[in-house]
Amino acid sequence: MNAIEIQNLKKKFEDKEGTTWALKGIDLRIRKNQIFGLLGPNGAGKTTLIYILSTLLLPTSGTARVLGYNVTEQDKQVRERCGLCMGGTYFYWDMNAREILDYYGRLYGLKRSVRKRNIDMLIRKLGIKGFEKKSFGNLSTGMRQKVAVAKSLINEPEVLFLDEPTAGLDVEVAMDVRNFIMDMLQERDMTAILTSHHLQEVEQMCRKVAIINKGVLVAHGDVEDIKKRLKVPDIIHLYLNRYENLEFLRKMRGVINYGVSDGLFIAVDSGLKRLDGIARELKKRKIAISDMEIKKASLEDVFLSIVGRKERGLRFGRFRRVG
């Protein structure tokens, strides 16, 4: 079953300067029980889409369903089953973490015993214990964000929307938040939709992603399948005893480009598949390899190729084009 079903979803904003189409006809289906990555540059439409799915915005046209419920016609049912966590969330400054979580538990209509059980569990598992009676205004940035994550889970949601949940956090706290979310997904029958500019974070947490650019869905599916479909290259990085007369590399199967900077960088369709052949050819020409490394194409490379940034072969290592 699908957790999310979106069909021809559009959203426009109008002001005195004119009309802006934030979403231009999104079609997307997200299956249950996974962390799904939603990517795009600033202004792509990611947050607008999250707001529509969580019933904070109405679409201009098209339909969106969460767990089978129409977000415009059955918004109450959607809200009861969803949680929303945003980076940089603020609450009442003089309330402490326990009071904040209890307040939102009441808004969801949770019984007192259920609220206490959920609050105790979230405070313990997110490492808030010892800080739960400090006012929100006196908490660190990382602890505030942990409270925001806890708030989004107080109602035991089936779908969790995470919009930049680790933005501005230090490495250790961001890791705590990521690990907690992944643990919760394993423990519960839950689906999470994650937006983040930390593409390594998305690659770690998500197997499937969708990339939005200028309000249009430009790619979606399994990360590895997208890499293959877009032919984003791997990079073979070699240190040699000399770097002259390398033009023969262009004629080798699988080689897309090469260049020299801090060593030799070769963009290839498959690093593991092509390395042996390249090494044999270099040895035949009496060019010795002193060190080597293969950089597999990352989600960042896929993202940059889709949104029209520099090709990876020229960006990686900042090497100059040869020939």
Mean pLDDT of 63-73: 96
pLDDT of 301 over the 90 cut: no
Q: pLDDT, tens digit, for every residue of 1-49?
A: 899 999 999 999 998 888 999 999 999 999 999 999 999 888 899 999 9
pLDDT of 72 over the 80 cut: yes
Q: pLDDT, tens digit, for every residue of 224-233?
A: 788 777 778 8
The whole-number pLDDT of residue 309 equals 52
DSSP 8-state class, residue 288: -
The whole-number pLDDT of residue 308 equals 64
Domains of the chain as residue ranges with CATH: 2-227 (3.40.50.300), 232-321 (3.30.70)
The whole-number pLDDT of residue 248 equals 93
pLDDT of 314 over the 90 cut: no
DSSP E strands: which ranges in the chain? 2-15, 18-31, 35-39, 61-66, 69-70, 82-86, 159-163, 191-195, 208-213, 216-222, 234-240, 255-261, 263-268, 289-295, 320-321
Q: pLDDT, tens digit, for every residue of 103-151?
A: 999 999 999 999 999 999 999 999 899 898 899 999 998 899 999 999 9
The whole-number pLDDT of residue 167 equals 78
